[in-house]
Amino acid sequence: METGADRGGDGRRPILELRDVDTHYGPIQILKDVTIEIYPGEIVCLLGGNASGKTTTLKTILGYVEPSHGAVFLDGEEISGLPTQERVRRGISMVPENRRLFKRMTVRENLEMGAYLRDDREGIEEDMERVFELFPRVKDRLNQRAGTLSGGEQQMVAVGRALMARPKVLLMDEPSMGLAPVLVAQNFEIIEQIHEQGTTVFVVEQNANMALSIADRGYVLQTGQIVLADTASALLENPEMKKAYLGELE
C-alpha cells in the first residue's frame, strides 16, 4: 500500500492528507488538484467563498464522493476507497454544515449516536463526562429533544456528538454559520479548547478572520483550487487575502 508523505515541517507525518485530489459530481469537476496536509495537533482552516468546494473537500475525506484522481491518507494509510463507516472507525468525525442534529431524538441519544461504532462502555461514559465539562449546559438538557434546543445549544451538541467518536481528526463545516456574533466567538474558544485537549482540527469557514485567529495554518480554496497556503499569521497579513476575504477596504 502506498503511504503518506513524510515532508512535514519537522519531519513528522501528516495525520490527514489530501494529495492531488480531483473530485467530480458526474461530469462536473469541483476539486482540482487539491493538496492539503494536516499535522497532528494542528488547527488548520480551509477558507473559501460560496460554492468554492469546501464541503466537497470534507465529503471527499469522508468518502461521500470518491476522488477521480489523487488520494486521501489518514495517518499514512490510504483511506480513499474505503466505506465511510470504516473511515469513521479509523478516527475521523465531523460536525456537519448546519449542525444537522437528529432533531427528534433526545440530546443523550444524539451523543450516543456519536459513539455508534464504539464498544468500550467506560470510555464512552468518560467522553460523555468530557463533553459535559466542555458544555455544562448540555448536561441539563440530556432528555430534551434536540430539535427544541437553541441554535447555540445545538452547536454544542453537534460538537459533542462528533467528539463522542473520540476522533483523531475533527472536521468542522462552517461552525459559525447561523450563529450570533457572541456565539461565534464562544464557538471558536471551544474549538481551541478541544484542540488543547489533543484533537487535531480541520475547520472549514467563510469567516476568515475568526478562523485564522485560532488556526495554525490555512488554505484558501477558489473554484475548487488551492490558491493560497500559508501559516495563519502570514495569511492575515497577506494583501490579497485582506482584499478578498478579510473584508478590509483600502
Partner 1 sequence: MAQTVDARQALPERELVPSPPVDLGAAVKWGLIAGMTAVFVSAIGMVQAFEVRSVVVGVDLGYLVLFGAALVFGYAAARPGEQLEGFLAPERGVRNVAAGLIAGLVGGAVLWLFVLLIGAVDIRSVFPSVSPQLRDLLTFGRGAGFAAAALIGGFGLVGALGGGIPVLPERIRAPLVNALAWVLAFGLFEDLFAQIFRGAKVPFLEDLLYQPGGGLSLVGALIVFVLFFAVYLSTASRRETVRSRIATMSPSERRRWVGVGLVVAIVILAVLPQILGNFLSEVFDLAGIFLMMALGLNIVVGYAGLLDLGYVAFFAVGAYTTAVLTSPGSPRWSPEMTFVAALPFIVLAAAMAGIMVGTPVLRMRGDYLAIVTLGFGEIARLLFLSDWLKPYFGGAQGILQIPPLELGPLTFRSSLDFFYPIYAFVLVFAYVSWALQNSRIGRGWMAMREDEPVAEVMGVDVVKAKLTAFVIGAILASFGGALFAHKIGSVFPHSFQILVSIVVLVIIIVGGIGSIPGVVVGALILVGAPELLREFAEFRYLIYGVLLIFMMLKKPEGFIPSRQRARELHQEEMMQDAWLRKEEEAAAAAGS
Q: Can you give the binding site for Mg ion, defined by CB under 5 A?
A: 55
Residue 58 CB, nearest distance to partner 1 (Å)?
A: 10
- 22 contacts 77 by C-beta, under 8 angstroms: no
Burial class (CB in 10 A: 0-12, 13-18, 19+), 15: buried
Residues near partner 1 (CB under 8 A), total = 28
Please report where in the chains the cell 490579497 appears, as a residue: 240
Instruction: Give the H or E element holding residue 237.
Output: helix 232-237
Residues 49-108 that bind ligand ATP (CB under 6 A): 50-56, 97
Find, among 63, 45, 41, 86, the residue nearest to 173 by Cα: 45
Site string for partner 1, 74-103 (x = CB under 8 A): ---------xxx--xx---xx-x---x-xx
DSSP 108-132: HHHHHHHTTT---HHHHHHHHHHHH
Applying CB under 8 A, the span of 40-48, 112-120, 122-130, 207-215 interacting with partner 1 comes to: 112-120
Cα distance from N-terminal residue to C-terminal residue, the chain: 51
* CA distances, 138 to each of 55, 149, 174, 220 (Å): 27, 10, 21, 34
Residue 25 interacts with ligand ATP (CB under 6 A)?
A: yes
Q: Which of 12, 104, 137, 243 binds partner 1 (CB under 8 A)?
A: 104
State the binding partner of 50 from Mg ion, partner 1, ligand ATP, none, CB within 5 to 8 A by kind: ligand ATP
Residues 14-33 that bind partner 1 (CB under 8 A): none
Query: Where on the chain is the footprint of ligand ATP (CB under 6 A)?
Result: 25, 30, 48, 50-56, 97, 206
Query: Where on the chain is the footprint of partner 1 (CB under 8 A)?
Result: 62, 64, 83-85, 88-89, 93-94, 96, 100, 102-106, 109, 112-114, 116-117, 144-145, 147-148, 161, 165
